[in-house]
Amino acid sequence: MVVAHGEHGYEAKALRWGLIPAWAKDPKTGAKTINAGAETGASRTAFRNAFKKRRCLVPASGYFEWRVKEGDLHIS
């Protein structure tokens, strides 16, 4: 569940995770565009419009990030 703007103001609703960019011809592209960093979200072409106009809050108690260390994939 996320908190997003709806017909009657802000409301909790279930959304699909991912972003289908306006230029995408195949909805499966959304599975590849799921992670916009805070540093680049506003400037990357795929995320720019959504960053300005379609935001939501995702309540969470934690998160994880992938990182590569010496060629191996680790979770930090």
- Give per-residue pLDDT as tens, 32-61: 666 677 777 777 777 777 777 777 888 888
Using the predicted structure, report yes or no on whether residue 4 has a pLDDT greater than 70: yes
pLDDT score recorded for residue 3: 92
Q: What is the pTM of this model?
A: 0.48
d(CA 1, CA 4): 9
Enclosing domain of residue 7? 2-75
Phi, psi of 49 (to 5 degrees): -65, -45
- How many domains is the chain built from? 1
